[in-house]
Structure 1
Amino acid sequence: MSQIKIVPLGGVRENGKSIYVVEVEDEIFVLDCGLKYPENEQLGIDMVIPDFSYLLENKDKIAGIFLSHGHADAIGALPYLLENVSVPVFGTELTTELAKINVREYPNTKDFKEFHVVDEFTEIDFGHAVVSFFSTTHTIPDSIGISIKTKEGNIVYTGDFKFDQSANKPYQTDFSRLAEIGKEGVFALLSDSSNAESSSLIASENQTEEEVYDTIRYWEGRIIVASVASNIRRVQQIFNAAHKSGRQVVLTGKDVEQIVRTAIRLGKLQLPDEDLIITERQMKNKRPEELLILETGRMGEPLQSLQKMASKRHKSISIQEGDLIYITTTPAISVETTVAKTEDMVYRAGGTVKTISDNLYVSGHGNENDLKLMLNLMKPKYFVPVQGEYRLLAAHADLAHEVGMSYQDIFITGRGDILEFEKGRLRMTGSTDADNVLIDGLGVGDIGNIVLRDRKILSEDGIFIAVITINRRAKKIISKPRITSRGFVYVKTSTDLMKESATIVETVVLENLEKADFDWGVLKQEIRDQLSRYLYEQTKRRPVILPVIMESSQKRK
């Protein structure tokens, strides 16, 4: 009987951060290594990556990292794993090139070179398992699913996918290969759940291309298109529509420049005209009706960039009267408020907003029918829905039950749950650490809940600082307390509050100086407690209170 474990370290009960560990005998196969962008309450955080503790504890077993596609939710955390483990990375041509960009930009992994290009015809024999691949349809070319063949059957990871019968070659699903894998026998299926609640018919990419062209060709002024940089399919549609409409394209932002140039170099993105792309400097010599500006924003988030354009804070572009802002990405439900705010700002600046979802339902992930078709093609013995919040995993589990699977063979996992094959069946046997690791600047994992809590308080109630100098030996105050505040109250109109706060500090300090067992920690805590109580009584707010106590041997004159 084979020894098999399946451990999701991310990508379950959350959006993004896909990473799934499949362990066969003494070899570990890592499927994707993605990040997710911070939620609203994670103030100041740049990105969130998985906890790699399980992999670091078993790094000698890792056979390789296998990437399904080139989006950040699949490759974004790769540098942070590779700085701790040196293992081969496998992916298709475009996926590998995009992963190299991420890895080389991170100082600790810039010299890593062990990338291996695979395609849908590649098979790699690792002894206890054979890894092969199958092409899938997503919003970026060279997307693949991954199959790990074991003695018990195939363990299949779909990656992000949908079924689109009109997709052209770089985006086509290999249905015959899916059927072949299903016929061989599937032990476990790990399948994309991102769109599991939707029964809506997803627009084909041909329909989407027509919609993009119709929107662009009839507008008489300048057009600013907001898109995700790594949605290569959408970028291709925008290029085609711009060319047919007699417009030239300006790329704004480092992300889109790198991704687009890489895709063009590899032939995954076609330029209809060599002169289609112009620089921001050349843009100044063009009439508005000759221009299309492609804005992808920092780390693929265009909405914040649009807000900067509307408020004239963008480094090079401001929204003008008569501009069309065309949002070609489908924002998540969690950012609907941000979308509404952005639209309002655009209209105030004189622009007009249209979104691709006004007329079409657009998604890069399969709907209910697509997911059920995948289940029927694979006919898995066990099913693990992945890539989605809990409600989406549960909805996908219900779909699996609809096509004939028993709920006892379906596992809705949390991060770190260990599924293990023992006594003839797959079962939950335990868990491992798999918390979020927060990236803030160059800091990796050094920001925790306490710091985030303080940032939240600072953002809501501000900071209150009390500075005082004492002579502990003489049991005297050398300089009276100085009170400063930021983001709490307007100091010039709160003089009485400041004076009373200074008095409280002075009283607490004198009381503590008289104690035989004087303790710095106790003194600071008492100042915090007394000030916190008084300030809350006066303002109903709780600022971060920072007592600064300096010691001097100088005697007061």
Structure 2
Amino acid sequence: MSEIKIIPLGGVRENGKNMYVVEVDELIFVLDCGLIYPDNELLGIDIVIPDFTYLEQNKNRIAGIFLSHGHEDAVGALPYFLENIDAPVFGTELTIELAKISVKSTGLNPKFDNYHVINEKTEIEFDNVTVKFFRTTHSIPDSVAICLDTTDGTIVYTGDFKFDQSASEMYKTDFAAISQIGQKNVLALLSDSSDAESYVENVSDMKVTEEIIDTFNNAEGRVIVSCVASNVMRIQQVFDAAYQTKRKIFMTGTKLVQVVDTAINLGKLILPSKNVIVTQKSLDQYQDDELVILETGQSGEPFEALQRMSKNKHKQVNIQDGDLVYITTTPSTAMEKVVARTKNMIYSAGGSVKEISDTFKVSGHATPNDLKLLMNLLNPTFFIPVQGDYRLQAAHAELAHEVGIPFKNIFIPGKGDVIEYKDGRMRMSGQVPAGNVLIDGIGVGDIGNIVLRDRKLLADDGVFIVVVTISRRQGRIVSGPEIISRGFVYMKASEDLIKESTEITKKVVEDNLENKDFEWSTLKQEIRDSLSRYLFDQTKRRPVILPIIMEASSYLKK
């Protein structure tokens, strides 16, 4: 028997940032390496990735990174992982190409080239583990589930998936493979929980294509389609609908063009006509009712780009009277305020908005009936719901119990929890370092809670700067105090407050100058404390107070 550990480093109690570690004896298998986009509280943060500390400590044991699909919640953290860990990367053809784009875009490890293309028939043998795959349906082609065959049974990780009986050949789920795996011993199932609470079934993608065609036919002007760049299925549907309604497509954004070119070159995205795509220079040659603008933005939710279009600040296309903005992505609940603000801006600019979610339930993730069907087909001994907030994991656990898996065999882990299988029993056995690493520009992990707190204070209450020049030798103030306020109060309308703040600062400095051996840090802290008490008493706000104390370098006469 083997010693097996399953450790989520991301993707649990959150929607994204998938990363799961499976240890079989001395070998470590990493399943997905994704990121998540920050919520509004993480001011200035670009992306959030898993904490790789545990894997860095055990990098010599890593057999490989196995990717389920090409979305950023599965491959987006790969550049940062590969910066310090040299391990082979396995994925399907499109997934590997999108992973390469992600790695190259950061410039962190441009020489890395240890990629291995697999398909649903590939079997990779290690000492006591065989890694296999089966095809799944998602909103991007070449999606697969990952199976680790061990001496104690198979561990199955679904990745993001759904079932669609009318899916095209490129997106079909391999139900025969699932059934064959289920006839053997499935030790544990790690399954996507993103839509475990849904009471409405997903419509087929064939119905979605029909809806997009109908929307294009009825639009009297330009249609600006908003979707995620890596949602290749939706892009294919837009291409097909544009061709059938005799419209031309203009694509904005470098990321979108990269994804589309890659998918076309691999045969994963089929152009219905070579002339369906037009350049920006040729837009004036067509009437408004002959155009589709495909906008994806630069991140997971393309609403920032739509806002720029509404304010006439987009580099390529701006919203004009008669435009229909067609939102074909389903925004996360965290984006509700952003969506509402964006829609208001679009209407103010003369456009109108239609959301595909107003008509259909559209998702790339399995609903409860799909989830229960998968569990019945695989019949796992143990079940671990992943990919979703805690309430979604808990809802998925209830579904597992409904199909006959006892609660004692269901584990709802948090990040870093170790689920250990030993001597025929599975149990929680401890924790490893885990959490969020914040990426801000080129900074990786150098933004912590203190910096975020200061950013929030600056955003909420502004900054209050005090500048004083002193002569320690003469024991007096040479210049100042001078007050500068940004984002706190309007100085011309707050003369009394500024005057009193000046006097408070002056007194604190003079009191400290009476002792020529005073500490600079003590002086600055006393200024902060005195001004903080006064400013809060007067305004009920706490700005960031920055005392700047300079010492005169030359002797000045009184």
Letter in 2 for 1:443: G
**1: CA distance, partners of 2:427 / 2:312:** 57
Contact 2:472/2:516 (CA < 8 Å) preserved in 1? Answer: no
* Larger mean Cα displacement after TM superposition, 212-221 or 59-68: 212-221
Contact 2:66/2:91 (CA < 8 Å) preserved in 1? Answer: yes
**1: CA distance, partners of 2:132 / 2:256:** 31
Partner of 1:173: 173
Partner of 2:268: 268
SS in 1 for 2:268: coil
Partner of 2:430: 430
SS in 1 for 2:37: coil
**2: CA distance, partners of 1:187 / 1:86:** 30
Tell whether 2:370 aligns with 1:370. yes
Partner of 1:138: 138
Partner of 1:294: 294
**1: CA distance, partners of 2:460 / 2:512:** 32
Partner of 2:549: 549
Partner of 2:322: 322
Letter in 2 for 1:34: G
Partner of 1:28: 28
Partner of 1:224: 224
Partner of 2:357: 357
Equivalent runs, 1:150-169 vs 2, <5 Å: 150-169=150-169
Equivalent runs, 1:338-417 vs 2, <5 Å: 338-417=338-417
SS in 2 for 1:79: helix
After superposition, give the CA deviation of every residue in 1:148-202 in whole Å (9 maximum; x if it has no partner).
Answer: 0001100000000000000011100000100111111111100000000012111
Contact 2:248/2:290 (CA < 8 Å) preserved in 1? Answer: yes
* Larger mean Cα displacement after TM superposition, 453-462 or 507-516: 507-516
Partner of 2:102: 102
Equivalent runs, 1:482-493 vs 2, <5 Å: 482-493=482-493
Displacement, 1:555?
Answer: 3.4
Letter in 1 for 2:265: R
Q: TM-score, normalised by structure 1?
A: 0.99
Partner of 2:59: 59
**1: CA distance, partners of 2:210 / 2:200:** 19
Partner of 2:246: 246
SS in 1 for 2:108: helix
After superposition, give the CA deviation of every residue in 1:42-76 in whole Å (9 maximum; x if it has no partner).
Answer: 00000000000010000000000000000000000
Partner of 1:512: 512
Displacement, 1:255?
Answer: 1.1
Give the gaps of 5 or more residues in structure 1.
none
Displacement, 1:246?
Answer: 0.9
SS in 1 for 2:285: coil
SS in 2 for 1:528: helix
What number of residue pairs does the alignment pair up?
A: 557
Displacement, 1:513?
Answer: 1.6
Identity of aligned residues (%): 60
Contact 1:440/1:447 (CA < 8 Å) preserved in 2? Answer: yes
Contact 2:420/2:428 (CA < 8 Å) preserved in 1? Answer: yes
**1: CA distance, partners of 2:284 / 2:306:** 19
**2: CA distance, partners of 1:219 / 1:480:** 64
After superposition, give the CA deviation of every residue in 1:247-277 in whole Å (9 maximum; x if it has no partner).
Answer: 1100001110100110001000011110111
SS in 2 for 1:427: strand
Letter in 2 for 1:458: L
Partner of 2:311: 311
Displacement, 1:336?
Answer: 1.3
Q: TM-score, normalised by structure 2?
A: 0.99
RMSD (CA atoms): 1.0
SS in 2 for 1:8: strand
Contact 1:104/1:112 (CA < 8 Å) preserved in 2? Answer: no
Contact 1:199/1:369 (CA < 8 Å) preserved in 2? Answer: no
Partner of 1:183: 183
After superposition, give the CA deviation of every residue in 1:215-249 in whole Å (9 maximum; x if it has no partner).
Answer: 11121211100011111110000001111111110
Partner of 2:211: 211
**2: CA distance, partners of 1:513 / 1:379:** 78
SS in 2 for 1:470: strand
Partner of 1:192: 192
Contact 2:51/2:437 (CA < 8 Å) preserved in 1? Answer: yes
Contact 1:68/1:74 (CA < 8 Å) preserved in 2? Answer: yes
**2: CA distance, partners of 1:185 / 1:333:** 38
**2: CA distance, partners of 1:295 / 1:316:** 10
Contact 2:301/2:331 (CA < 8 Å) preserved in 1? Answer: no
Partner of 1:457: 457
Tell whether 2:466 aligns with 1:466. yes
**2: CA distance, partners of 1:308 / 1:327:** 16
Displacement, 1:517?
Answer: 4.9
Displacement, 1:516?
Answer: 6.2
Letter in 1 for 2:399: L
Contact 1:134/1:174 (CA < 8 Å) preserved in 2? Answer: yes
Letter in 2 for 1:59: K
Partner of 1:237: 237
SS in 2 for 1:277: coil
**1: CA distance, partners of 2:552 / 2:218:** 75
Displacement, 1:537?
Answer: 1.1
Partner of 1:285: 285
Letter in 1 for 2:446: D
Displacement, 1:376?
Answer: 0.7
Contact 1:255/1:300 (CA < 8 Å) preserved in 2? Answer: no
**2: CA distance, partners of 1:56 / 1:354:** 47
* Larger mean Cα displacement after TM superposition, 392-401 or 305-314: 305-314
SS in 2 for 1:439: strand
Displacement, 1:289?
Answer: 1.1
Tell whether 2:6 aligns with 1:6. yes
Partner of 1:522: 522
**1: CA distance, partners of 2:443 / 2:430:** 31
Contact 2:14/2:390 (CA < 8 Å) preserved in 1? Answer: yes
After superposition, give the CA deviation of every residue in 1:95-115 in whole Å (9 maximum; x if it has no partner).
Answer: 000000011222221111111
**1: CA distance, partners of 2:388 / 2:480:** 57
SS in 2 for 1:159: coil
**2: CA distance, partners of 1:347 / 1:102:** 35
Letter in 2 for 1:496: D
Displacement, 1:509?
Answer: 0.8
Letter in 1 for 2:11: G
**1: CA distance, partners of 2:375 / 2:510:** 74
SS in 2 for 1:116: strand
